[in-house]
């Protein structure tokens, strides 16, 4: 019997974008199970609670049978080990992403040589897209309809513009 190929796609997903969803859909085709891991990062200034981010991700991945969403604390490699994942999926947009991501991948490999990092290049239509950029568009009251699902845009508007009106 062959071992189940489990991967983790970690991130804060604080402002889930179509770029994130694209990586999730494509990665789900490569593995038996893809665990989208919402990192609990107390030092990061986040818009949404873990519960809110989890709800958004569950809604976005509802039609993908081999994807599950959960949260984790601590190091990604430790989380991967706990859930039996042998792969970490990371999306790459630009050269600047690669520099950061290769350092992280090498550090993770140093901590656990049994876990491989798999890089997926972002689809061309999302190469410019980041949660920070979406937040900036919304703060300036622009439309994010082509950047994030409707429910994410509404939630971001509610959080970011509550004191502006």
pLDDT digits (tens, 9 = 90+) for 49-99: 999 999 999 999 999 999 999 999 999 999 999 999 999 999 998 877 888
Catalytic site positions: 20, 44, 93, 131
Residue 79 structural domain? 6-124
Of the candidates 83, 93, 90, the residue with the CA atom closest to the CA atom of residue 108: 90
Of the candidates 78, 91, 76, 141, the residue with the CA atom closest to the CA atom of residue 121: 91
Structural domain includes residue 67:
yes
Structural domain includes residue 132:
no
Structural domain includes residue 33:
yes
Residue ranges with strand state E in the chain: 6-11, 33-39, 67-72, 87-92, 116-121
pLDDT digits (tens, 9 = 90+) for 110-157: 999 999 999 999 999 999 999 999 999 999 999 999 999 999 999 999
pLDDT digits (tens, 9 = 90+) for 10-41: 999 999 999 999 999 999 999 999 999 999 97
Is the pLDDT at 43 greater than 80? The verdict is no
Q: How many domains does the chain have?
A: 1
37: domain CATH number is: 3.40.50.620
pTM of the model: 0.93
Structural domain includes residue 79:
yes
Q: How far apart are CA 132 and CA 138, in angstroms?
A: 10
Q: Where are the alpha helices (DSSP H) in 41-160?
A: 50-60, 76-83, 95-111, 131-139, 150-160
Structural domain includes residue 138:
no
């Amino acid at each position: 019997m062959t071992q189940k190929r489990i991967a983790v796609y970690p991130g804060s997903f604080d402002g889930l974008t179509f770029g994130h969803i694209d990586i999730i859909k494509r990665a789900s085709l490569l593995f038996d199970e893809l665990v989208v891991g919402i990192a609990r990062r107390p030092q990061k200034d986040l818009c949404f609670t873990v519960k809110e981010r989890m709800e958004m991700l569950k809604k976005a991945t509802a039609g993908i049978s081999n994807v599950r969403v959960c949260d984790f604390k601590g190091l990604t490699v430790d989380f991967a080990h706990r859930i039996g994942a042998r792969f970490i999926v990371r999306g790459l947009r630009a050269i600047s992403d690669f520099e950061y991501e290769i350092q992280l991948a090498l550090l993770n490999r140093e901590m656990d040589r049994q876990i491989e990092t798999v890089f997926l290049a972002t689809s061309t239509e999302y190469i410019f897209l980041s949660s920070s950029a979406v937040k900036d568009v919304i703060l300036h009251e622009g439309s994010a309809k082509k950047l994030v699902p409707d429910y994410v845009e509404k939630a971001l508007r509610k959080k970011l513009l509550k004191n502006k009106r």
